[in-house]
Structure 1
Amino acid sequence: MMMKELHYSGSFTVNKPPSDVVNFITDLPRAIICIPNIINYEVLSKDKARVRFRVDLGNEVPIAELRRVTTDAHIELVSASGNEIRYKVDGRAAGSTISISLVIKVEGVNNGSRINWDATANLGRLLQMIGRFVNIDSLVKSISEDTIKGFIGCLSK
């Protein structure tokens, strides 16, 4: 069975110069604590970490055990060249594999930075099955937005 590829993108601005933003985003041990719903994490190296976080799929999911899913994932900073940063997330949730590749571009605007992000996600079979009950698209979008808000909160400190 073919895994369905989902695509998301967005952009936001922060009142920090691009160099600060790039330094923050590429500092995995510092950036990782900004991800919402983290249960625990372990920094394996400067560009690799193991993370466990909880995802709330909501009450529309008819199977109680799947309403709250714990995900174990490896997050890896794949590359950072100039203002373009690439991350890869590989994990498991509800017995399914998940893989996400994230490209972040930072550009200077006025006295701050615009951060453009682009994510491609492959979700496993079980999560596709859940898609019959839950709008996976809006779920992933809201998880992405929560994560971005977490980063903005950290960046704004």
Structure 2
Amino acid sequence: MLEAREYRGEVAISYKPEAVIEFLRDPRRFAPCIPGVVRHYIDQDGSLRLRLRLDVGSAGIADISSITSDVTIRISGYGDGYIIYNIEGRALGSSYSVELRILAKPVDRGSRVYWEARASLGALIRILSRFFDIDRLVEEIARKAVENLTRCIEASGLEDTPP
């Protein structure tokens, strides 16, 4: 694996932190919200297995508009207002891994959700990054994922009603 790259962001959600984290602890609820899901299932060990088709058309790579990736997501920890995922995948013939940390803090009308991802990208992805801005592409994919998850949480009808 290569040097780790870090990405982060934040978003407001109109539910209390406990409800947000509870939603994110249930792969059956959040899996359909991940952009590009072709199929998903829960493995016997509780990990989420996904096949994704990621739109990379904006990267400007000739003849490549999407990338297929097989992904495993495991919850490695959670507690009062936080959850940590270990994500392992394979795309473009190269393995990658991501540690994703999500922290939900209470605010007046719900939660402010902070996320931070530390990604180790594979060798082929590193080689391809010479030809396009890999950070911009990853940030775009992350932005879409956060937007989709936020919409899902807001539309989920969580038991914890907004304040």
Q: TM-score normalised to the size of structure 1?
A: 0.92
Aligned pairs for 1:26-65 within 5 A: 26-45=25-44, 47-58=46-57, 60-62=60-62, 64=63
Per-residue deviation at 1:56? Answer: 2.2
Q: What is residue 92 of structure 2 aligned with on the other side?
A: 94
Secondary structure (helix, strand or coil) at the match of 1:156 reads helix
8 Å CA contact 1:73, 1:90 repeated in 2:
yes
**Offset from partner CA, 1:92-146 (integer Å, 9 cap, x none):** 0010001000000011000210100000001101111111121100100010010
Q: Does 1:152 align with 2:137?
A: no
Cα gap change, 1:47 to 1:77, in 2 (>3 Å):
farther
Q: What is residue 104 of structure 2 aligned with on the other side?
A: 106
Q: What is residue 78 of structure 2 aligned with on the other side?
A: 80
**2:19 partner letter:** D
Q: Does 1:119 align with 2:114?
A: no
Q: What is residue 21 of structure 1 aligned with on the other side?
A: 20
Q: What is residue 8 of structure 1 aligned with on the other side?
A: 7
Gaps of 5+ in 1: none
Number of residue pairs aligned between Structure 1 and Structure 2: 154
8 Å CA contact 2:50, 2:71 repeated in 1:
yes
8 Å CA contact 2:35, 2:54 repeated in 1:
no
Task: Give distance in 1, aligned partners of 2:130 and 2:79.
Answer: 40
Q: TM-score normalised to the size of structure 2?
A: 0.89
Gaps of 5+ in 2: 156-163
Structure having the higher strand fraction is: 1
Q: What is residue 129 of structure 1 aligned with on the other side?
A: 127
Per-residue deviation at 1:45? Answer: 4.7
Give % identity.
31
